[in-house]
Each structure stands twice: as structure tokens, then as C-alpha cells.
Amino acid sequence: MSRPAAFAAVDLGASSGRVMTGRVAPGVLTLAEERRFPNRPVRANGTLHWDVLGLYGNVLDGLRSAPRDLVSVGIDSWAVDYGLLDRDGALLGNPVHYRDARTEGVRERVGAEAGDDLLYQASGLQFLPFNTVFQLVADRAALSRAHTLLLIPDLLAYWLTGEVGAERTNASTTGLLDVRAGTWSRPVLDRLGLPAGPLPALRDPGEVIGTLRPDVAAETGLPGDLPVTAVASHDTASAVAAVPATGPRFAYISCGTWSLVGVELPAPVLTEASREADFTNEGGIDGTVRYLRNVMGLWLLQESLRAWGSPDLPALVAEAEHVPGLRSLIDAGDPEFLPPGDMPARIAAHCRRRGDPEPRTRAEIVRCVLDSLALAHRATLRQAARLSGQEIDVVHLVGGGSRNELLCRLTADACGLPVVAGPVEATALGNVLVQARAHGVVGDLAEMRDLVARTQPLRTHTPRGDDRAWADAAERLGLPR
């Protein structure tokens, strides 16, 4: 019997990256890690950058470790950030990190000048200060020198293949894509005075981008005719593609550095109520819309752990289980938590200003964060259902956050819905499955999700108790009961 088909998934998150090998056959879906590496930003001359060349070097090392029988390679990453190339294809500078301060105040200025309604009706995008469109307005000088703009997965694919393009699910996070037409929005570009020239042709998940360049093949030892296939290159789009849903009435929480909380729809929701609620309409697999809102996510814990010298998180979560719940709460969407820094001090100060007991121990801070995230998940899912008309019977919590048993249980209790936790590596699985479908190994989206449900470890958390304590806590934070 021949081995299941092998696909390499390059999966780059905002705090770490990995190269995984997925094997797919009827009834078979496995993942093996080839290389995992940190993704650390670098501050130089006051600007926060991504070390994109270091990431690319790690990607090559991971591909060098991959099996020789690969069918394809696919790349996904975090959204919104980009590299600028000159006319000869040379990188003009390290991509700037979305958490850099250069966009402070830009979103408000652009909204006042261009009109929030025009921007939302065109892109359907949540107004976040680091959206690509605001980054470009903040640095028009760099854009004026550029011949080509490539989002991070497209930049790495260009270095692997020499082919230029923009994959649609990630392009939908820029604020420059027409959410209904699936094309770059000339009205937005014209209103903001941004050139269309650097924006490359668009491509869909499943398209073959090209084959490895001769130098890449020589460096990795892989065949020169190995294709690089476009996947749902926004990591959340890949994660949602791997949600093990068995019917349409589901919600998802893709929980990592960010919690992306929403529902899958056939068409965007562009109402005034949706815009005022700050919901986003991002591209998903097969023309679906990921109707969601960004919640701060495990960034709150990641920065706290960094401030504490990286203690053991599972031990802290175990301690946090014994801390009284809903005692100290923060608004997980407050922009004060967006920049790097002393997160525990900010959390304590936030609670103090709100009149809540100030969390003093590490376990109390962890419990405060997890309770607050569960409340944010509750509020966002209830708004998503109301604004979209989508009924929700079950919540699928995927990604690294699905390892956190306490967060999963609290989310089930807060939402009053069963929470199915897993798979942990949903993004890599979605990356692999889109490649497998493109190369004829697996069928449609329903078959992809069924394969995930039948092969990956999942845990179901049933809500406990009544809703009154959560409703009161939501009211304390100014959230809908």
C-alpha cells in the first residue's frame, strides 16, 4: 500500500512559525513537525520590524527537513503586513510590524477624510488601527518607491518560486479589496490617493503559484518541479477551513495571539449596525465570508508570561482554577493592551480604574484574563448571531487556545453553548487540506471538515449552571447581557 500523499505546510504566526508535513488519504490526516521557530520582532531606529529574512531562512531549513515525496508546499501567515519590492524584485526594507506606533491616529484621520461608510461598504472590514490601508497611508513615502507590494505569505512564495500575486483571503484583510466583487477597490484607492500599480494580480486558494526556483531546489534538496500551491493564506482562513463542523449552525473561535470570533456566511453583512459594532467581513474558502471580530486573545497572557520571565503556563492555569471567578475583569478589546510592554501592570491598573479588586498574584491575573476573554467571546458571538441572522448550536474553539482547558470551560459557561475544543493545529491542517484538494486527494469543504472530525482529537465542554453571573459580569463591563 502506498504512503498517504505528503504536503508541506508553512504556518507563520505572530509569535512563532513552523513547517509541518501533513499526510492525507481516505480516512487519514496526520501532521508531523519538521521545524518550529520563534518569530521575534526587532526594533531598529525606533521602528518595530519583522525579521522576515530570518523567517525565510527558517522556512528553508524546515523544507530541507521535509520528506522527499512532497506533492506540494503551501504558506499561510498572520494578516495585514507586507513587504515592498523595487522594480528588480529586491526587498526595500524589513516589513514593519503591525504593532508599530506609526499608525497612531491614522485610522481616525482617514475615516474623517474618506468617510467610514465608503470604506466599510467597499471592504466590509473592521476598523483596526493596523489595517494595511492605514499602514500605507502612514508611510506613503515608502509606497511611492515601491514597484510591488506583497503580503507576507505572497512574499515568501515569491522568494520560493519567482511568481508574483496576492491570495484573496489575505488580501481581504487589507481594507483595499472590494468584499463583494473580490477585486481591488478603485474607489478606496482613489479616495485615499493610493496607487494601484504596486498591487499584484489576485489568485484563489488552490491555484498553483509556480514551482521551486533552481536555487531554492538546490538549497533544500527538493525537486525543482515541486509546486507551491496557494492556500487560504490568512492563517485564520486556513484555521476556519479545518473547523470540524458537521452542519451549518456553528460559530468558531480561532484562538491564539488573537481570538478571531465569528460565523461563516455565504455573503457579507454591510449594514450600518454591523459597521457600528466593528464586525469584519473577511474572505474564506470557496467564496465564503468569515464574519467576525478580533478579540485581543492570548496576547494578554503571552505578554504577561514574558514580563514574569516565562514561567510554566499550565501550572499557573491550574492555580487560577482555584481563584474566585468573575472577581476582577478587564475589557479585552481596550487598545491600551495592544502594544508590547508590562501587561500585568496594565491589567492591574485597568481593574483599579474600573473599581474591581486589583489582581495581585500571577494566578489572579491569569484568572482575570481568562474570565475576561470568555466574556468577550460571549459578547462577540451574540452580536455576530444577531447581526447576521445566523443561528448557532455549537462553538468550535480551534488553535493553541484549545489546549487551555479552563478557557474552553469558561467560554462554554459564558456562551451557554457546547464548545468543541480542537484541533490545536487547525491552521496547518487547513493549509494541508486545501493543497490536498487542489491535487485531487480530498473532495469538497464538507469532506475536508469531516476528515478533520474523524481523525483529530477533540473535546466537548458542556455549559454548567445558569447564565445570571455571566450576564451580571457582562453588564459590569458595559457588554450586552
Report the pLDDT value the prediction gives residue 438, as an integer from 0 to 100.
98
pLDDT of the residue at 15: 86
235 catalytically annotated:
yes
pLDDT at 394: 98
pLDDT score recorded for residue 116: 85
For residues 379 and 474, the answer to whether their CB atoms sit within 8 Å is yes
Provide the pLDDT for residue 199.
98
Which residue has cell 473592521?
Answer: 126
d(CA 312, CA 305) in angstroms, rounded, equals 8
Task: Find where cell 524584485 sits.
Answer: 89
Alpha-helix residue ranges (DSSP H) falling in 355-455: 362-388, 405-415, 426-438, 445-455
SS3 35: strand
Residue 367: helix, strand or coil by DSSP? Answer: helix
Q: State residue 115's pLDDT score.
A: 80
pLDDT recorded at residue 55: 97
pLDDT, residue 349, reads 96
Cα maximum dimension of the chain: 66
What pLDDT score does 111 carry? 81
Q: Which residues contact 20 (CB under 8 A, 6 or more apart)?
A: 8, 9, 11, 31, 32, 33, 34, 425, 428, 431, 432
Q: How far apart are CA 335 and CA 339, in angstroms?
A: 8
- Encode the chain (481 residues) as per-residue pLDDT tens digits: 478 999 999 999 988 999 999 999 999 999 999 999 999 999 999 999 999 999 999 999 999 999 999 999 999 999 999 999 999 999 999 999 999 999 999 999 888 777 888 899 999 999 889 999 999 999 999 999 999 999 999 999 999 999 999 999 999 999 999 999 999 999 999 999 999 999 999 999 999 999 999 999 999 999 999 999 999 999 999 999 999 999 999 999 999 988 999 999 999 999 999 999 999 999 999 999 999 999 989 999 999 999 999 999 999 999 999 999 999 999 998 889 988 899 999 999 999 999 999 999 999 999 999 999 999 999 999 999 999 999 999 999 999 999 999 999 999 999 999 999 999 999 999 999 999 999 999 999 999 999 999 999 999 999 997 899 999 999 999 988 8
DSSP labels for 416-437?
TS-EEE--TTHHHHHHHHHHHH
**pTM exceeding 0.85:** yes
What are 401-457's pLDDT values in tens digits?
A: 999 999 999 999 999 999 999 999 999 999 999 999 999 999 999 999 999 999 999
Cis geometry, peptide bond prior to residue 195 (ω within 30 degrees of 0) = no
8 bridge partner residues: 21, 73
Task: Starting at the earlier edge strand, list the strands of the sheet with 394-398.
Answer: 280-283, 289-295, 259-265, 250-255, 394-398, 419-421, 459-461
CA angle 437, 443, 444 (to 5 degrees): 95
For residues 168 and 183, give the distance between their C-alpha atoms in angstroms, rounded to a whole number: 9
Exactly one of 81, 100, 235, 413 is catalytic; name it. Answer: 235
